[in-house]
Amino acid sequence: MGSSQSVQAQSASEKPQMTAEEMQLKQIEQSIPRYSRPETFDEKLYRKPLIPIGCLTTAYFLGSGIRSFYDRDASRSQTMMRARVGAQFATLLIFMGYAGMEAINFKIAPGYHPKDEEEK
């Protein structure tokens, strides 16, 4: 009986050997990227509120310019179309600003110590 207990203790302490197929399957599972659920419109609106505002402003100037064109008011139509181009430019700059802020990694900046790392 004593020898059977030592064999059981020895086999319990050793990890079972993986076959080549199991190792290959584990490597494949680890290489598959894990995807999270897509971000909803509300979440995007909350994180980047200036982009939809810029799009709505651009649409307003476009609609107002087209209406002025139909009313045969050339100077107002020209003004609205210039404002539309300005709104498009501002929206593009805002979009690039948001993209740039996501791309910046502050951890490489000298002297940067986030509060989470200071507590550890």
How does pLDDT run along the chain (120 residues), one tens digit per residue?
555 555 555 555 566 787 888 888 888 878 777 777 788 888 888 888 999 999 999 999 999 999 999 999 999 999 999 999 999 999 999 999 988 888 877 666 677 676 655 454
CA distance 120 to 105: 20
Among candidates 54, 56, 80, which has minimal Cα distance to 66?
80
Residue 6's pLDDT is 52
CA distance 9 to 13: 6
Residue 3's pLDDT is 53
Verdict on whether the full-model pTM lies above 0.75: no
Distance of CA 83 to the CA centre of its chain: 30
CA distance 45 to 4: 66
Give me 88's structure tokens: 């498009």
